[in-house]
């Protein structure tokens, strides 16, 4: 009789464990919501939203989406899985303290992160606006990132990562608007309609960076586009204005430029040990020194 009773208790305990694990699995939804008047104790549903990104991300399944119901400050967050954060209805904001507004440290082989319409204010305290350590791909759309002591967007990866930036404003970031490098693999990037102002490097392309920049404005920075190590950058149909140096390339780097407006820069071309190629179709006005485009000419095929 006692053995039967113990067996029944064991079965009940096992059933409770199964139910608990099932409940935990089901607790992560494919879509969650945050609101300025939400509460992280909520399930993050549309009718009971969470208050912060960290609160929502723990309840959102990999590959899922966090949406902003209204404008609000939703807190610094670390992303470790594929996810979309969409604050197009807001926009949502992150008032960053020490560290970075958003850290991305996801799986380099599989994880894709999409962030849309999130404003990040560093208040000259945060190190980086977005710090990308690892991911397969990161897509930033309609962002506004400013006032950090490092880079508005920083890539310091140990494996290949692809970064796209669209319709975005980056300003008052001491080191760079976008700074990229990787110790293995490559950083592949495409930046379209990006406005960068008052930074150290507008775009700083470090080790193994291969980037295209087009339809963008880079202004009031120390170096507009700075290829600082091995890799290649091509800039087209952009305005590069009022920088100390417009285009610069260090040893091992190559930089190409075609159909850009170059206005009011101290120096236009500074090879600085690297290679700069021009299409000869970059109109210049009121610059200081032209410098030397020492690479092979950019030609149409």
Predicted pLDDT of residue 63:
97
In a domain, residue 28? The reply is: no
The encoded tokens of residue 96 equal: 């960053």
The enclosing H or E element of 200 equals none
Contact 251, 230 (CB under 8 A): no
Can you give the residue range of the structural domain that contains 94? 69-291
Residues 110-139 have pLDDT tens digits of 999 999 999 999 999 999 999 999 999 999
pTM (predicted TM-score): 0.90
Q: What is the average pLDDT value for the chain, to the nearest integer?
A: 92
CA dist 59 and 192 (Å) reads 33
Predicted pLDDT of residue 15:
47
In a domain, residue 191? The reply is: yes
217 phi, psi to nearest 5 deg? -125, 130
In the numeric block, the tokens 């149909």 are attached to 237
In a domain, residue 18? The reply is: no
CA dist 124 and 63 (Å) reads 33
pLDDT bracket for residue 276 (50, 70, 90): very high
pLDDT bracket for residue 27 (50, 70, 90): low
Residues 167-209 have pLDDT tens digits of 999 999 999 999 999 999 999 999 999 999 999 999 999 999 9
Please determine, for residue 217, whether its predicted confidence score (pLDDT) is greater than 50. Answer: yes
210 has which bridge partners?
A: 188, 232
CA dist 171 and 199 (Å) reads 6
Ordered strands of the 267-270 beta sheet: 77-79, 100-105, 128-134, 151-157, 176-182, 201-205, 223-227, 245-249, 267-270, 289-291
In a domain, residue 166? The reply is: yes
CA dist 54 and 75 (Å) reads 7
Prior bond to 91 cis, omega within 30? yes
Please determine, for residue 23, whether its predicted confidence score (pLDDT) is greater than 70. Answer: no
In a domain, residue 140? The reply is: yes
pLDDT bracket for residue 91 (50, 70, 90): confident
Predicted pLDDT of residue 58:
96
Here the CATH number for the domain that contains residue 256 is 2.160.20
CA dist 119 and 136 (Å) reads 23
In a domain, residue 121? The reply is: yes
Predicted pLDDT of residue 10:
55
In a domain, residue 22? The reply is: no
Residues 223-238 have pLDDT tens digits of 999 999 989 999 999 9
Closest by CA position to 94, among listed 82, 80, 79:
79
Predicted pLDDT of residue 243:
98
Residues 38-74 have pLDDT tens digits of 999 999 999 999 999 999 999 999 999 999 999 899 9
Higher pLDDT, 24 or 173: 173
In a domain, residue 17? The reply is: no
Sign of CA dihedral 87, 162, 120, 263: negative
CA dist 39 and 42 (Å) reads 6
For the chain, what is the largest distance between any 2 Cα atoms, rounded to a whole number of angstroms? 98
Q: What is the mean pLDDT of residues 273-294?
A: 95
Please determine, for residue 18, whether its predicted confidence score (pLDDT) is greater than 50. Answer: no
CA dist 224 and 196 (Å) reads 9
Q: What is the mean pLDDT of residues 69-95?
A: 94
| Percent of the chain predicted with pLDDT > 70 | 90
Domain count, the chain: 1
Predicted pLDDT of residue 301:
66
Predicted pLDDT of residue 9:
47
Q: Name the E strands within 142-186.
A: 144-148, 151-157, 161-173, 176-182
**Burial, 153: exposed, middle or buried (Cβ in 10 Å; 0-12, 13-18, 19+)?**
buried
The encoded tokens of residue 44 equal: 């993050």
């Amino acid at each position: 009789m006692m053995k039967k009773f113990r067996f029944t208790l064991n079965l009940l305990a096992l059933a409770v464990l199964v139910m608990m694990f099932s409940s935990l699995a089901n607790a992560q939804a494919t879509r969650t919501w945050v609101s300025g008047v939400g509460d992280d104790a909520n399930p993050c549903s549309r009718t009971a939203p969470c208050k912060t990104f960290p609160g929502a991300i723990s309840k959102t399944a990999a590959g899922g989406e966090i949406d902003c119901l209204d404008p609000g400050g939703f807190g610094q967050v670390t992303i470790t899985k594929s996810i979309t954060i969409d604050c197009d209805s807001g926009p949502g904001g992150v008032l960053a303290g020490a560290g970075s507004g958003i850290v991305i440290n996801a799986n380099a082989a599989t994880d894709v992160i999409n962030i849309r319409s999130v404003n990040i204010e560093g208040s000259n305290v945060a190190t980086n606006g977005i710090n990308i350590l690892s991911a397969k791909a990161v897509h930033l759309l309609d962002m506004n990132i400013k006032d950090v002591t490092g880079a508005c967007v920083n890539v310091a990866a140990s494996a290949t990562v692809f970064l796209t930036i669209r319709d975005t404003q980056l300003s008052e970031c001491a080191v760079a608007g976008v700074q990229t490098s990787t110790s293995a693999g490559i950083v592949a990037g495409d930046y379209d309609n990006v406005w960068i102002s008052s930074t150290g490097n507008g775009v700083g392309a470090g080790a193994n960076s291969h980037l295209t920049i087009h339809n963008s404005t880079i202004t009031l920075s120390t170096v507009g586009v700075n290829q600082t190590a091995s890799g290649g950058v091509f800039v087209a149909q952009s305005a590069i204005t009022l920088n100390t140096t417009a285009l610069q390339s260090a040893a091992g780097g190559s930089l190409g430029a075609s159909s850009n407006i170059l206005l009011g820069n101290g120096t236009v071309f500074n090879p600085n040990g690297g290679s700069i190629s021009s299409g000869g179709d970059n109109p210049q006005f009121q610059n200081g020194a032209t410098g030397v485009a020492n690479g092979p000419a950019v030609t149409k095929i």
